[in-house]
Amino acid sequence: MYEISADPARLDVPRIHQWLSTDAYWARGRTLAKQEAAMAGSLNFGAYHAESGEQHGYARVITDQATFAWLCDVYVAREARGHGLGTALVAAARDHLSPFGLRRILLATDDAHGVYAKIGFEPLSNPEKWMSLGLQ
């Protein structure tokens, strides 16, 4: 059983940095300073084992809390995968954002489309409208 919290005091920052900088394809090599800066400007969610309190998952949301949010850095510890924790973590972030009445929440993934589809995310209906600047 897991508890999901947006309390920044509970986050295990060294563990989150270790996960992302060594095991997440999108963040390999990210420095601790860069991770701390990213976290400081975001809403952060941790998933904690109910008995031990140990952090087993993380998700970060960049938002203006009015119209838009970007869900990123979703990570579940290897030993906790396969039990629905990733889906629960993303659902908790979505539910936390719900009162803001955001127009959209976006994300990008190479390999977890099924996790996000379970809670309502869909491919862009008009991807030709979207553009990006920077790494693809």
Backbone angles phi, psi at 95, to 5 degrees: -65, -35
Residue 8 confidence (pLDDT): 97
Predicted structure pTM score: 0.94
Encode pLDDT of 40-83 as tens digits.
999 999 999 999 999 999 999 999 999 999 999 999 999 999 99
Residue 136 pLDDT exceeds 80? no
Residue 135 pLDDT exceeds 90? no
Residue 32 pLDDT exceeds 80? yes
Question: pLDDT class for 134, splitting at 50, 70, 90?
Answer: confident
Quote the distance between the C-alpha of residue 15 and its chain's center: 15
Encode pLDDT of 86-127 as tens digits.
999 999 999 999 999 999 999 999 999 999 999 999 999 999
DSSP H helical ranges for 1-136? 13-23, 32-40, 85-97, 113-117
* Beta-carbon count within 10 A of 2 CB: 21
Residue 129 pLDDT exceeds 90? yes
Q: Which of 22, 79, 35 is closest to 54 using CA atoms?
A: 79
